[in-house]
Structure 1
Amino acid sequence: MGEIVDEIGRVHREVGTRRVASQEAGTVLLRRTFGADAADVWDAVTSPERIARWFLPVTGDFRVGGTYQLEGNAGGEILECVRQERLRVSWVFGPDPGFSQVEVRLTPQDAGRTVFELEHVSVVPEEFRSQYGPGAVGIGWDLALLGLGWHLAGEGISPRDAVEWGTSPEAQAFVARSGEEWGRAFAASGADPDTVAATTVATIEFYTGAEG
């Protein structure tokens, strides 16, 4: 498995906003190039058997208009599916999620590489956004892409090992670095520096269990 610093550096992060149904939605975008062809990456993110190996077990009716449910996590509707190019789903977590969609986009490159983009667009309560900022969503997706990268490289770990790894010093360091990078992306979006600083600290503490 690659060094954590290297893994963090392989992802490009952007924070923004978008008008959705007369509301302002927040956006987080992650972009990473994987050393695997588009067919392999597509299969890894759409095959229930493979999703369970790097993310979570998933059940559902896997077609456009069908629904899915990740074990202990989000579920929703499959809104769009263009093979080896684009997958868009609603992302429902909790009793009142508001607008929340995730889109994955793949772009084939030379030498069997693939540019992978994941964009999460969501409307969240102002009190949550002002306390934690975009890193609350971004860190979770950084962890997912870490697992996907290991899986595509043939270095995946079992779900039990992943739980154990999640409490390790290495995992805590990954979360902290991820939170700092999302703070930088938030600042680059034009956010107030004091807000960036406060939300970055709060989000890292939330994920590492260090909240007071």
Structure 2
Amino acid sequence: MDMIDHVTRAHRELVDGERKVVTLSRRYDAGIEDVWDACTDPDRIKRWFLPVSGELKLGGRFQLEGNAGGEILECEPPRRLKVSWVMGDAPGLSEVEVELTPEGEATLFELRHTAEVPPEMWDGYGPGAVGVGWDLAVLGLALHLAGGEKVNEQTFHLTDEGRRVIAAAAQAWGRASEAAGVPPERAAAQAATVTAFYAPDEETRA
């Protein structure tokens, strides 16, 4: 798989209001039932994202290993899943929603993350702060659905390909910011900050 091509094919949107909404869309060459199963079966989730535990049903709570947890708010197989998204002591309401739409033998995957973000964090990082993380997750799902191996999240950002993927995703979120009305200089600065966060150079890592 050409990972840069995967990043380029994805569509991104930003609603820059009191609550920030980032949307990432991607079309997969897989049936809706297969994509739904990959997004909801804990055995498959850990093969492209993270191990998940909890009461995985409507109204139950989940926890992703080393990451966010929350409550399953809506579940309409095989089309819609909505959860609350709590990361440590992060303030404010945060929700993630996935919608699947069949398109012949393919499936349109849309992920929407709505959150209340502290102004200082938003000013510095913009939508790429969560957007690039979701890009990497959606890339993992693409590899899984195509029968490939999960990338090593501990070392991917250290490889040339990984750094190119992260930079391309950060720049794509910068363009989404511009489309939402963010001044170009600010959007470019945010993209650079996000790239440095996800893929720090050797001097920064040292």
With the length of structure 1 as denominator, give the TM-score of the two structures.
Answer: 0.92
1:86 to 72, 80, 89: 80
CA distance in structure 1 between the partners assigned to 2:16 and 2:81 by the alignment: 21
Q: What amino acid does structure 2 have at the position aligned with 1:140?
A: G
Identity among equivalent positions (%) equals 48
2:162 to 154, 157, 171: 171
Q: Does 1:205 align with 2:199?
A: no
What is the CA deviation profile of residues 114-142 of structure 1, one whole-angstrom value per residue up to 9, with x for unaligned ones?
A: 00000000001100000000011110000
Shift of 1:5: 2.1
What are the equivalent positions in structure 2 for 1:1-212 lying under 5 Å apart? Answer: 2-18=1-17, 24-110=18-104, 112-157=105-150, 161-210=152-201
Q: What amino acid does structure 1 have at the position aligned with 2:3?
A: I
Checking the alignment, whether the CA contact within 8 Å between 2:82 and 2:97 is kept in structure 1 is yes
Unaligned regions of 5+ residues in structure 2, if any? Answer: none
Shift of 1:162: 4.0
SS of the residue 2:154 aligns to: helix
CA distance in structure 2 between the partners assigned to 1:173 and 1:195 by the alignment: 21
Shift of 1:165: 2.8
Comparing 98-107 and 8-17, the one that deviates more: 8-17
Give aligned pairs, total.
203
CA distance in structure 2 between the partners assigned to 1:25 and 1:47 by the alignment: 30
Comparing 162-171 and 31-40, the one that deviates more: 162-171
SS of the residue 1:107 aligns to: strand
Checking the alignment, whether the CA contact within 8 Å between 2:171 and 2:188 is kept in structure 1 is no
Q: What amino acid does structure 2 have at the position aligned with 1:168?
A: T
Checking the alignment, whether the CA contact within 8 Å between 2:157 and 2:199 is kept in structure 1 is no
